[in-house]
Amino acid sequence: SLGGRTVNEAGLDVPADADVRWDPNRKAVRHARLSLPILYTDETILVLDKPAGLLAVASAPGLEDEDTAFARVQEYVRRLSPRRPYAGIVHRLDRDTSGALAFALSPEARGALRNLFREHRMDRRYVALVRGVPTADEGTIDLPIAEAYESGRRHVARPGEPSRPAITHYRVRERFAAGALLDVKLETGRQHQIRLHLAHQGWPIVGDPVYGVPDPALGRQFLHATRLAFDHPFTGERVEVDSPLPGELARHLERRIDQHHAAP
């Protein structure tokens, strides 16, 4: 145990003064494997690395048999703790957005994590490759998103239209001839928020088939949830989880950089 909680992560770096204890009489932890990479886990929280193409949750009620990240976590939990299995949805990622996705492993953890999201105390970072080049090095997009959801699309709310606040912060990491690589931070987390906000500014995400133009060479949208960071709701310790850029995005970005440098 580390600081009073069981830790299953091999190779975990701990401070020199950490309270680490081993009890040879403790009941063995059941062995179970999740079919997705685990970025962080303890007895109450699980953060996995979701690949593009996998739904986070079922696309509609009654379709629980769909292959989703949530279904895989549920199966993992049933194997890990068959007597009291619990997995709770905390937030979501679009099907073709990859990266860090958190789940709660107890009802109390779900409530606590959802409060962190609601109170904007969950640090969520993304990286996006966009068409179009922002003139400013950084900025904030503060545009409410309409509650209406039509034909798989959201839209920026018109005056008087029922809507919810939506705030997106961005910073330009690198500029290219006809695009840019952005670091994006969410203050709110509405469905399609980053994709819609950036497209509304004239910078649609590369490969986005809804708010931009599909990219057959890439086969997905270039949007990746690279970081989740928060104060653990029960221990108070800072949890910082990073998801590396997937291979297909890294290769696409490298080609873009090579083309930019080769241009006269």
Given 49, 94, 208, 215, the catalytic residue: 94
Type of residue numbered 164: R
What residues does 183 pair with on adjacent strands? 127, 171
Question: What residues pair up with 55 in beta bridges, in sequence order?
Answer: 68
What is the spatial distance between Cα 175 and Cα 242, in angstroms, rounded to a whole number? Answer: 24
- Name the 3-class secondary structure at 186: strand
Is 242 a catalytic site residue? no
Q: Alpha-carbon distance 60 to 205, whole Å?
A: 26
φ/ψ of residue 60, rounded to 5: -160, 155
Q: Tell me the two tokens of residue 12.
A: 């975990």
Length in residues, the chain: 264
List strand residue ranges (DSSP E) for 90-194, in order. 98-104, 123-131, 138-142, 145-146, 163-164, 167-175, 179-186
**Alpha-carbon torsion, ordered 119, 120, 123, 124, to 10 deg:** 120
Q: Do residues 226 and 242 lie in contact, with contact meaning Cβ atoms separated by under 8 Å?
A: yes
Contact (CB, 8 A) for 94 and 39:
no
- Phi and psi at residue 74, in whole multiples of 5°? -60, -45
Task: Please give the positions annotated as active site.
Answer: 94
